[in-house]
Structure 1
Amino acid sequence: MPVVDDDVSSPPVLLFDVFKTLLLFDGDHVDDATFVHLASWLRYRQIAITPKALQRRYLSVTQAQLAAAPGQPPDVDVLVVWDAVLAELSVSQVRRRELVVELALVYRQITTRQIDVWPGTFEMLDACRGFRLAIASNTQRAYTEPELRMLGLWDYFERVIFSSDVKACKPDIAIFQRALVELDVAPGEVLYIGDNPYDDVLGAGRLGIPAILLERDTPAPPNVELPTPLARVADGDPGAVARLAKAHFGWPS
């Protein structure tokens, strides 16, 4: 990740969502076959459990951890979920450390039909050079850090905060608060960029962070009063975010 010199006055931060903002994604296709595959994967590692029993344990642990999480809405860390599932199967702590990361990625792979960089993303980020770039997004670190690395986006960002890190999903303010602390900035030094009027514009707005809304047909819940974004950007103009950010912060275009 880029390194910021603390001795120099830091430029403002552009804080990005991930899915439908930076990445195309068609995933979370979970069904009975998912657990057939996972039970087979575990069997090859001398861990015996039926697909139905594995599914019940996974869902039970997930629900318990969601109930204990502080966010509104809450989130879990899937590595902690899988660690608890394997612990219930009497797998040693040493083996669990070896297995949970790969098990989480196998789950992600078999439930994902498409993942790719949203067209124009590299051009958008290149146009934003000079700003500090960071991510705050509803997703699992176990999945999305490898995906951003795989797709060549990780090194653009100084800080990356996921909902699994704070056990809370946008529009809960926890993820935005963590970003402000880690970046050592005030809300007025940040612009948020996302596609979701509810999660992104409302969530950031609760802390006084203005948002640029990428118009990608993401619906908002009905009967919810939403703040007005700083600007709306349609696809096909990857330089728009940088131009709007420069105008907002009084930088020369």
Structure 2
Amino acid sequence: MHTDESDLATYNAVSKWLMYQGVMIAADRLKVEYATLIEEKMNSSKEAYPEIRVEEIFSRICKDNSIWDINHHKLGIETARVFRSASLRRLEVFPQSHQLIKDNPHLKKCVLSNGQRVFSELEMRFLGIYELFDLVIFSSDVRYKKPNPKLYQLAMHKMKLNPDEILFIGDTPENDIIVPKKMGMKAIHINEAWEHMNDML
């Protein structure tokens, strides 16, 4: 998956769509307000690794810039999805990862993602992989993100597993390898998993 949230064209597309929803805000101002509100929300959190809900950011923007009566809560959700579609450059599943999942139906599987449920769940469902997991946790669900140990502990609790029963796979060393290992899990990079998974399980 690849997105570009820095491209003004992304905000231009959202700005034009919002016009039809009763929200008047220019693309350049939308980009600034979006970044500013996220920073404010992050700074006000007491979490070491805070997370926002992007739909709440857009709800606030829609409320502040509406030119007729709107349901800003509902519009915030819809705008978040339009924003995602405007910023999306590539959406696909690595075939190696898909094969790993399908080759091991006997194992409990969990996704622990620094992501936004408002659109990421829909993307996973569109790709046909959401139902392949026993548990999917997005950082937006709990308002904190990896590498906060609480997120890993939450997953372990819900999966009813101990650290030594878990193999954590990911592509970010701090989030997916260093911290899980410190917590007593086995952890490997996704590239290593593609090469050796069948030998390790």
Q: TM-score, normalised by structure 1?
A: 0.72
Choose the corresponding residue for 1:44, options 20, 45, 52. Answer: 20
1:87 to 41, 63, 69: 63
C-alpha displacement at 1:146, in angstroms? 0.7
Q: Distance in 1 between matches of 2:10 and 2:25?
A: 14
The answer on whether the counterparts of 2:52 and 2:143 sit within 8 Å (CA) in structure 1 is: yes
Match of 2:126 in 1: 150
Identity of aligned residues (%): 26
SS, match of residue 120 in structure 1: helix
Match in the other structure for 2:8: 32
| Stretch deviating more after TM superposition (154-163 or 120-129) | 120-129
Tell whether the 8 Å contact from 1:135 to 1:161 is kept in structure 2 after alignment: yes
* 1:71/1:169 contact within 8 Å kept: no
Aligned with residue 76 of structure 2, among 90, 100, 104? 100
From the superposition, tell whether residues 174 and 92 of structure 1 become closer, same or farther in structure 2 (CA, over 3 Å).
farther
Deviations 1:59-118 (A, max 9, x none): 221111111234433321111211222232358997123322221111111111111010
Q: How does 1:62-73 map to 2 (within 5 A)?
A: 62-73=38-49
State the partner residue of 2:177.
201
Quote the offset at 1:151 in angstroms. 0.3
Report the Cα distance in structure 1 between the residues aligned to 2:78 and 2:158, rounded to whole angstroms: 28
The answer for the alignment partner of 1:162 in structure 2 is 138
Matched residue count:
201
Offset at 1:169?
2.7
Alignment-derived partner of residue 156 in structure 2: 180
Q: Which residue identity does 1:176 align to in structure 2?
A: Y
- Structure 1 residues 115-134: aligned runs within 5 Å: 115-134=91-110
Distance 1:169 1:192 in 2: 16
Aligned residue for 1:35, secondary structure, equals helix
Instruction: Name the SS of the counterpart of 1:179 in structure 2.
Output: helix
CA distance in 2, matches of 1:206, 1:101: 37
* Aligned-residue RMSD, C-alpha: 2.2
* Partner Cα separation in structure 1 for residue 158 and residue 147 of structure 2: 19
Q: Does 1:137 pair with 2:122?
A: no
Distance 2:155 2:69 in 1: 32
Tell which has more relative contact order, 1 or 2 (C-alpha 8 A, sep 6+). 1
TM-score of the pair, normalised by structure 2: 0.89
SS in 1 for 2:164: helix
Q: Relative to structure 1, is the Cα distance of residues 88 and 107 closer, same or farther in structure 2, using a 3 angstrom cutoff?
A: same
C-alpha distance in 1 between matches for 2:165 and 2:46? 27
Would the alpha carbon gap of residues 203 and 49 (structure 1) be closer, same or farther in structure 2, given more than 3 Å must change?
Answer: same
- Tell me how far 1:199 sits from its aligned partner: 1.7
* Counterpart-to-counterpart distance in 1, 2:170 and 2:79: 30
Change (3 A) 1:175 1:59: same
In 2, Cα distance between the equivalents of 1:122 and 1:102?
29
> Distance between the aligned counterparts of 1:178 and 1:195, measured in 2?
20
Structure 1 contact 191–211 (Cα < 8 Å) conserved: yes
Larger proportion of helix: 2
**8 Å CA contact 1:39, 1:54 repeated in 2:** yes
Quick one: which amino acid aligns to residue 171 of structure 1?
Answer: P
